[in-house]
Chain A
Amino acid sequence: MTRAQSFPGERPVTPEVVKEHNLNELEYQRIVALLGRTPTLTELGIFSALWSEHCSYKHTKPVLRTFPTDGPQVIQGPGENAGVLRLADGWAVAFKIESHNHPSAVEPYQGAATGVGGILRDVFTMGARPVAVLNSLRFGPLDEARNRYLFAGVVKGVGDYGNCVGVPTLGGEVDFAPGYSGNPLVNAMCVGLLRESDLTLARAQGVGNLLLAMGSRTGRDGIHGASFASEDLSAKSEARRPQVQVGDPFTEKLLLEATLELIEKHLVVAIQDMGAAGLTSSSAEMAARGGVGVELETDKVPIRETGMTPYEIMLSESQERMLVVAEPHQVAAIQAVCEKWELSATPIGRVTDDGLYRILHHGVIVAEIPGQRLIDDVPIYEPEAREDQRAKARRAAIPSGPPRADVRGALLLLLDEPSIASKRWVFEQYDSTVQAATLLGPGGDAGVLRVGNTDFGLAVTVDCNSRLVALDPFEGGKATVAEAARNIACTGALPLGITDCLNFGNPDRPEVFFQFREACRGIAQACRAFNTPVTGGNVSLYNESPSGAIDPTPTVGMVGLLEQLAHRVPSHFQLAGDRILILGRSEGHLGGSAYWAHVRDLVGGHPPPVDLAAELALQQFLVAAARDRLLSSAHDCATGGLAVTLAEAAMGGPYASVGLGAEIDLSSYGIGIVCSTDPVDAALLYGEDQARAVISVDPPRVGDVLTLARRFGVPALLVGTVGDPQGDVIIATPERHYTWAVEALRETYFGAIPRRMKGAGE
């Protein structure tokens, strides 16, 4: 039996105290049985943190185990701070996505900033230099002042942190829907590059080795952040504001440089970020991975406030701290590196051989827990999953009432929707060119950067279509991975693998767990089909506010390999006279479309089915065509359908001075579309059939493109020609001609968000 004494003045552990720690009766009984006694408050705090959903995945593990995680490209799958995939010439990519939803809901600026900080540390702790950040953001509609405040604060927080550290933001997505009012989502992804030989794992090893606290001092901020992230948001969440941590990007930059220098000089055995649940999770997880015990002396931890208790020190989530495991004779060398970077590294404990997780404070044992069981014995739940009747009804619904616009007007309406409109207002606040490696920045299908000094590149994207997931979690899960892969392939890169950030509501509700299980099944199936394994990620549950659960949002971050820098393909039309082709077929599928949502006021219908074989063929074709230098541009066809895709390609990149016209004849495309709810042309222009892209091609190469498409079994149809600068976008159908001046489209598309944000965030 283990032994531990209460810290003087500490509250006794009563049923109320247990409840405050978000532990249920079953969990508490298991703790008592495991210890053979009543836990001390420090021990209860440790269990509470490590057995929170955020750290333990107790509701989701069985489902997460169904993800494919293997492949010849996988160097490190789930279970470490970040996944690692092999690139070429000894280079590898480490990447991970994580949520910071709850803190951002109460303190948008710091919540978002520290979200970026945490994910950067997860990547550089692997020995990888961060080379890109991306983010996926969700807010309620911008006509509410509170949502504008959250949006502006989050964007500024993301920007200020990443800009200072000096990591370019290469992409992201922002979506606005009523389901996120009161519970915004802030998912940050970091991508790092490393030499395979520098890979460092967070495994404590070597009895007698020392544990060092490195970086910022420990304060009282963020205590119980992990538990906070594992409960619903409510009116009392405002009182959680003191639990939101405060970020210091300058210290992060120092920590980054010092960590990479320590790894490069082989001075450390293991290193891990003190992220969620701070010192507790970093030490317990490193010990469990290494199969050793650890002993920490909390009185040795550098603190920034007096009178901190071991409980507070163990659970603080003060930012910009790392825990290092090192051989005793390396301590002086480690401290010299830290001194160079104006940081401290202080021995606070050691690796032991008794397998116990022991905390001492001035020599008194305040916690002693069998280390492996602390991690492994968390109860695993298999919640009930049942689809909501209302979800079935939404899927069966069709629009009623008059449309808000005719077929022509609908395009302007859609381009004015903040979810579809240009996000230039957002990414203009993020440094996207620092590190001087950016080949394709934000505003296209995927970001592309150069790998080191090589001639190959890395493509990165983050995607989720939550409307499709809400209506049909399984097809929506597939569609999310498919869209990410199309985005990567449109740049000419081969999709390699994903990281996921699974944002859902309260898993105790069967309809929520149904969404989770089915979306994961869809993601798993698509990842198997594409050979893009899951390398890790994050689960964020309890995204609920008094108005209900968020739309299910399983965000997928994907990386891909661009074999030659010169193969990269931009998203936008490049040259008047280039021919335009549509890849993939259409049945005019309007269910779940943006057109129904914004023109017919219905979030409903059957989302389009996702044909994974067709998706894979399309991806492979795009990569092959890029390799053969056949494409002037390639743009994924997704939200808003063909008309939005064509308009986006014609309007040009975010800093093009003018757009290009385009003449499109759709008389041979989508033949046989029938539509009972809308004009056939609406189905043709705004249907969101999957596995499609729009490409532009130098006229002499059209023949080669068609031949290559046949070889891959990808339907390809020549439909038109890129027009002159400042020309018209003309789409002809058998019914009629639709004409838009490209400059008018640009004004709508680029002005939509600035118009709504005038005065906010400035």
Chain B
Amino acid sequence: MKRVAVVRFPGSNCDFDTLHAARRTGTEAYFVWHRDTNLKSADAVLLPGGFSYGDYLRSGAIARFSPIMPAVQRFAEAGGPVLGICNGFQILCEAGLLPGALMRNDRLTFVSRPVALRVEQTDTAFTNRYHPGDLLLMPVAHGDGRFVADPVTLAELEATGRVVVRYVGLDGQPLDGSINGSLNDIAGIANPEGNVVGLMPHPDRAADPALGNTDGTGFFTSIARWAGVPK
């Protein structure tokens, strides 16, 4: 059974959602407190959504300096699977584990709604249970979700297949308009090795049969099938 550490910041508010989603898929998931400095023999690390330290400055900007983050950094660099959801994605970008940044939504208001995602890359630690082109329905809920990167980085992400999920219409076609103004409708990306993934939508809120939507379950079941970083 895979040991999955869910890092709990004081302002995390999807900590239990993420923990339960991971446990429901048969992992041994547990909390790691932000003041801890080791991950307690984790096989994978999940950074949940929320407002880590209030995020009054810039989302995730303070969390990257928290005591647990050096351990997460080392774990990721050693090829360990790390998933950042929503605020977790913002923290991974702030920490430099993923490129780009998440800026204020283009409409400047918080956006909470279901979105359709197209799976673009399945060779990652968190999407290997899906098929390229799969259409997933899950909620977004964020104020700072507009993915941006400089043109070179953006071109590289696209060329090397590191865009993991993309916002699309319910029919799978490109969006008419946008969810938050993200460049190329990018909803989630991976590092070159595929062990670090971040996305703004919430698979943790779409992984419970009792709620009628399990489209996000694959993000958690993929952990067990991940053989590790190739090469």
Asked whether B10 lies within 8 Å of A455 as measured between CB atoms, the reply is no
Select which of B13, B108, B109, B110 is within 8 A of A166 by beta carbon: B13
A434, B205: Cβ atoms closer than 8 Å: yes
Closest to B15 in A: A166
User: When the two chains form the complex, which single residue of B10, B170, B204 contacts A436, counting CB atoms closer than 8 Å?
Assistant: B204
Chain A residue contacts of B139, Cβ below 8 A: 432-433
Minimum Cβ distance to chain A for residue B217 (Å): 12
**With contacts A166-B14, A166-B50, A433-B141 known, is A439 near B211, CB below 8 A?**
yes
With A428-B111, A435-B17, A657-B171: A250-B211 Cβ-Cβ less than 8 Å: no
Looking at the complex, which one of B112, B114, B210 makes contact with A431 (CB distance below 8 Å)?
B112
Most chain B CB inside 10 Å of its own CB: which residue of A156, A251, A253, A436: A436
From A253, A427, A429, A434, B10 is in contact (CB under 8 Å) with A253
The answer to whether B188 has its CB under 8 Å from any CB of chain A is no
* B residues less than 8 Å from A437 (CB atoms): 211
Contact A253 B141 (CB under 8 A): no
Q: Which residues of A contact B114 (CB under 8 A)?
A: 655
**Of all chain B residues, which has the CB nearest A165?**
B13
Alpha-carbon distance A431/B171, docked complex (angstroms): 24
Task: Please tell me if A636 contacts chain B, counting CB pairs below 8 Å.
Answer: no
Q: Find the B residue at minimum CB distance from A164.
A: B51
Binary flags per residue of B85-109, CB closer than 8 Å to A gives 1, else 0:
0000000000000000000000111
**B-side contacts of A342, CB under 8 Å:** 10
Determine how close the nearest CB of chain A comes to the CB of B193; give it in whole angstroms: 29
Question: Is there an interface contact between B112 and A429, defined as CB atoms closer than 8 Å?
Answer: yes
Chain A CB count within 10 A is highest, among B55, B56, B169, B211, for B211
Q: Are A434 and B210 in contact (CB under 8 A)?
A: no
B84 is an interface residue with CB less than 8 A from chain A = no
Question: A434–B141 Cα gap in the complex (Å)?
Answer: 8
B212 at interface by CB-CB < 8 Å: yes
Does B31 sit within 8 A of A, measured CB to CB?
A: no
Contact check, A160 vs B141: say whether CB atoms are below 8 A apart: no
Query: Which interface residue of B107, B143, B208 has the most chain A CB atoms within 10 A?
Result: B143
Across the interface, do B54 and A450 meet the contact criterion of CB distance under 8 Å?
no
| A428-B14 contact, Cβ under 8 Å, with A164-B54, A437-B211 | no
Q: Are B112 and A160 in contact (CB under 8 A)?
A: no
Q: Is A254 an interface residue (CB 8 A)?
A: yes
Whether the Cβ atoms of A655 and B112 lie closer than 8 Å is: no
Is B131's beta carbon under 8 Å from chain A?
no
The distance in angstroms between the C-alpha atoms of A435 and B19, with both chains bound, is: 11
Contact present for A427 and B112 (CB under 8 Å): yes
Interface residue A109 (Cβ < 8 Å from any Cβ of B): no
- Docked-complex contact A434 and B171, CB < 8 angstroms: no
Bound-complex Cα distance A305 to B17 (A) = 39
Interface 1/0s, chain A 379-392, versus B by CB < 8 A? 00000000000000
Bound state CA distance, A166 and B139, in angstroms?
14
For residue A269, give the distance in angstroms from its CB to the closest CB of chain B.
26
Q: Does chain A have a CB within 8 A of B21?
A: yes
Give complex CA distance A251, B10 in Å.
9
Q: Within B20-58, which residues are at the interface with A (CB < 8 Å)?
A: 20-21, 49-51, 53-56
> Would A450 and B141 be within 8 Å (CB), given that A159-B110, A165-B13, A429-B109 are in contact?
no
> Cβ of B13: which chain A residues have Cβ within 8 Å of it?
164-166, 253, 434-435
Q: Contacts A163-B141, A250-B51, A436-B208 hold; do A762 and B108 have CB atoms under 8 A apart?
A: yes
Cα A109 to Cα B50 with chains together (Å): 21
Q: Which of A217-262 contact B (CB under 8 A)?
A: 248-251, 253-254, 257
Residue numbers in A under 8 Å from B53 (CB-CB): 250
Is B20 in contact with A254, judged by CB distance below 8 angstroms?
no
Q: A762's closest neighbor in chain B, by CB?
A: B108
Partner of A250, one of B54, B113, B171: B54
Chain A residues, Cβ within 8 Å of B211:
436-439, 450
Which residue among B169, B170, B204, B205 has the maximum number of chain A CB atoms within 10 Å of its CB?
A: B205
B170 touches A657 (CB 8 A): yes
Answer whether residue A47 sits at the interface, using C-beta atoms and an 8 A cutoff.
no
In this assembly, does B11 line the interface, its C-beta being within 8 Å of a C-beta of chain A? yes
Whether the pair B51, A253 counts as a contact (CB closer than 8 A) is yes
**Shortest distance from the beta carbon of B101 to any chain A beta carbon, whole Å:** 20
Provide the residues of chain A in CB contact with B169, threshold 8 Å: 657
Interface size on A, residues (CB 8 A): 37
Query: CB distance B112 to A428 under 8 Å?
Result: yes
**Complexed CA–CA distance, A143 and B110 (Å):** 24
Of the listed residues A165, A251, A437, the one surrounded by the most CB atoms of chain B closer than 10 A to its CB is A437
Cβ-based interface call for B16 (8 A): yes
Which of B16, B51, B108, B113 is within 8 Å of A435, CB to CB? Answer: B16
A140 to chain B, nearest CB (A): 22
> Which chain B residues border A762 with CB–CB below 8 Å?
107-109
Q: Determine whether A565 belongs to the interface, using a CB cutoff of 8 Å to chain B.
A: yes
Interface set, chain A 159-199, CB cutoff 8 A to B: 159-160, 163-166
Residue of A nearest to B109 (CB): A429
Known contacts A166-B14, A455-B210; decide if A432 and B54 are in contact (CB<8 Å).
Answer: no
Say whether B3 faces chain A, with CB atoms less than 8 Å apart. no
Residue B129, interface by CB 8 Å: no
CA distance A428 to B142 in the complex (A): 10
Residues of A within 8 A of B162 (CB): none
Residues in B whose Cβ lies below 8 Å from that of A431: 110, 112, 141
Chain A: minimal CB distance from B100 (Å): 23
Cβ of A434 and Cβ of B11 under 8 Å apart?
A: no
Minimal beta-carbon separation of A751 from chain B (angstroms): 13
A124 within 8 A of B: no
Given A166-B50, A250-B56, A432–B11 Cβ distance below 8 Å? no
Interface assignment of A621: CB less than 8 Å from any CB of chain B: no
Q: Does B146 reach chain A (CB closer than 8 Å)? A: no
Within 8 A of A (CB), among B112-165: 112-114, 139, 141, 143
Q: Is residue A595 contacting chain B, with contact meaning CB distance below 8 A?
A: no
**Residue ID in chain B nearest A565 by CB atoms:** B210
| A286–B224 alpha-carbon span in the complex (Å) | 53
Q: A428–B207 Cα gap in the complex (Å)?
A: 22
* Contact partners of B110 in chain A: CB under 8 A: 159-160, 163, 428-431
**Which single residue of chain B is at the shortest CB-CB distance from A450?**
B210
A436 touches B205 (CB 8 A): yes
Q: Which of B11, B14, B111 has the most CB of A within 10 A?
A: B11
Contacts A166-B14, A166-B50, A250-B53 given: A436-B112 contact, CB under 8 Å? no
Chain A CB within 8 A of B166 CB = no
| CB-contacts of A83-110 with B (<8 A) | none
Q: Once the chains bind, are A156 and B141 in contact (CB under 8 Å)?
A: no
Is B64 in the interface zone, CB < 8 Å from A? no
List chain B residues, Cβ under 8 A from A253.
Answer: 10-11, 13, 51
Contact residue among A165, A432, A436, A761 (Cβ-Cβ distance under 8 Å from B21) = A436
Check A149 for interface membership: any CB of B closer than 8 A: no
Interface assignment of A740: CB less than 8 Å from any CB of chain B: no
Query: Cβ of B51: which chain A residues have Cβ within 8 Å of it?
Result: 164, 166, 249-250, 253
A159: B residues at CB distance < 8 A: 109-110
Q: Whole-angstrom distance from the CB of A192 to the nearest CB of chain B? A: 15
Residue of B nearest to A425 (CB): B109
Q: Which residues of A contact B49 (CB under 8 A)?
A: 434
Complex CA–CA separation, A254 to B143 (angstroms)? 21
Max count, chain A CB within 10 A of own CB: residue among B51, B111, B171, B204: B51
Q: Are A655 and B113 also in contact (CB < 8 A) when A166-B14, A253-B51 are?
A: yes
Q: How far is the CB of A383 from chain B (nearest CB, A)?
A: 43
Q: Which 6 A-B pairs have the closest CB atoms?
A: A166-B13, A250-B54, A436-B17, A431-B141, A433-B139, A657-B170
19 contacts between A and B (CB under 8 A): A163-B112, A163-B141, A163-B143, A164-B11, A164-B54, A164-B55, A166-B13, A166-B14, A254-B10, A428-B109, A428-B110, A428-B113, A430-B110, A432-B141, A433-B112, A436-B207, A438-B205, A450-B210, A450-B211
* A-B contacts besides A164-B55, A430-B110, A438-B211, 14 pairs, CB < 8 Å: A164-B54, A166-B13, A250-B55, A257-B10, A428-B113, A430-B112, A431-B112, A433-B112, A434-B205, A435-B16, A436-B211, A437-B211, A439-B212, A657-B169
